[in-house]
Amino acid sequence: MSKSVLIMLAILSVVTQWAGIYLIPLTEGLTKFWPTFLGAALFLIGIGCLAKLVSAGIPLGIIFPALSIAMPVGAVLIGVIFFGEPAPPAKLIALFAAAGLVGYAATV
């Protein structure tokens, strides 16, 4: 698989999972059919992209720490931007510090 295809799969995985995260509050506890169905489908697409990346030889020790950074940061940003959640500086500092530590741990 070419490098550009791998990059596109990684981006597609992150974007589809972020879209699934966006839909979680809209499911109202999984009681609304369409947001639940679409969210589940998006998460499955994201996981499918991850499976293709791993089968293409991307080490789990690289791809999952990267997602461990992207998913929580994306979830917080989605909550703040789309759902009006508070973003106190301490919360953001802790989030980005944790993301930095995960990123560093992946390189060790």
Ordered per-residue pLDDT tens for the chain, 108 residues: 899 999 999 999 999 999 999 999 999 999 999 999 999 999 999 999 999 999 999 998 888 888 888 999 999 999 999 999 999 999 999 998 988 888 888 777
- Look at residue 74 in the predicted model and tell me its pLDDT: 94
pTM higher than the cut 0.85: yes
- Give residue 74's Cα distance to chain centre: 6
Q: What is the torsional sign of CA 92, 94, 95, 99?
A: positive
- Look at residue 108 in the predicted model and tell me its pLDDT: 76
Instruction: Please tell me what DSSP assigns to residue 56.
Output: T
Q: CA 28, CA 9: separation in Å to the nearest integer? A: 30
Q: CA 77, CA 19: separation in Å to the nearest integer? A: 12
Burial class (CB in 10 A: 0-12, 13-18, 19+), 84: exposed
Alpha helices in 1-108 (DSSP H): 3-26, 33-55, 60-83, 89-107
Nearest to 79 by CA among 36, 25, 12: 25
* Block residue for tokens 């990059």: 7
- Look at residue 42 in the predicted model and tell me its pLDDT: 99
